[in-house]
Amino acid sequence: MTFSISLTVNGVRRDVELDNPRVTLLDLLRERLQLTGTKKGCDRGQCGACTVLVDGRRINSCLALALSHDGADIRTIEGVAEGGHLHPVQEAFIAHDALQCGFCTPGQIMSAIGLIQEGQTDGDPERVREGMSGNLCRCSAYAGITEAVLDAQKKLAEAGG
Ligand code: FES
Ligand code: FES
């Protein structure tokens, strides 16, 4: 038995046949759509490496069944730069040295974009740390990550205002 689903991934409609209803959104992105920017760290909801935006909200894609997201709008790290320009959060991560090995970085960036969109941090470093606490970094680049999120948040607010 196969299951047909249709997703919009980074603005492009993708029709996919699943032969197993238990395929995760993470595996669908990486193995079926070859979008390997989204990383598989723990594969059980503990590290945040697999964070993507689903209908604008950040989720751990390793915990999400692809079948449950028929019709969803998905954004991955491959889809955040636009018009040949990095996303402001990507620029801020570079400017603030917010990465070392880079394995956690796609998830950190997707989580940061989601956090900024949630609009709850109010430019407060402690709230940023709390909001990003689901994204682990084995290289412990946390100081730079917090600075990058705060900087990107400020720049996006200025650009929006
Ligand atoms: Fe999904 Fe770790 S791979 S939370
Ligand atoms: Fe290496 Fe975060 S930069 S795990």
ipTM: 0.99
Return the CATH architecture of domain 88-160: Orthogonal Bundle (1.10)
If you measure from the C-alpha of residue 157 to the centroid of ligand 2, how many angstroms do you get, rounded to a whole number? Answer: 27
91 close to ligand 1 (CB < 6 Angstrom): no
User: Could you tell me the two tokens for 149?
Assistant: 């999120």
Q: What is the pLDDT of residues 21-75, one digit of tens each?
A: 999 999 999 999 999 999 999 999 999 999 999 999 999 999 999 999 999 999 9
Assess contact for 113 and 156: CB atoms under 8 A: no
138 close to ligand 1 (CB < 6 Angstrom): no
* C-alpha closest to that of 88 among 133, 151, 10, 18: 151
* Rg of the chain taking only CA atoms, in angstroms: 16
Instruction: For residue 80, name the pLDDT band (cuts at 50, 70, 90).
Output: very high
pLDDT given for residue 120 in this prediction = 86
**Of all protein residues, whose CA lies closest to atom 2 belonging to ligand 2?**
137
If you measure from the C-alpha of residue 78 to the centroid of ligand 2, how many angstroms do you get, rounded to a whole number? Answer: 18
What is 3-79's CATH topology? Answer: Ubiquitin-like (UB roll) (3.10.20)
Atom of ligand 1 nearest to the CA of 41: 3
Task: Answer whether residue 76 shows pLDDT above 80.
Answer: yes
pLDDT given for residue 35 in this prediction = 98
Domain spans in the chain, listed from the N-terminal domain onward: 3-79, 88-160
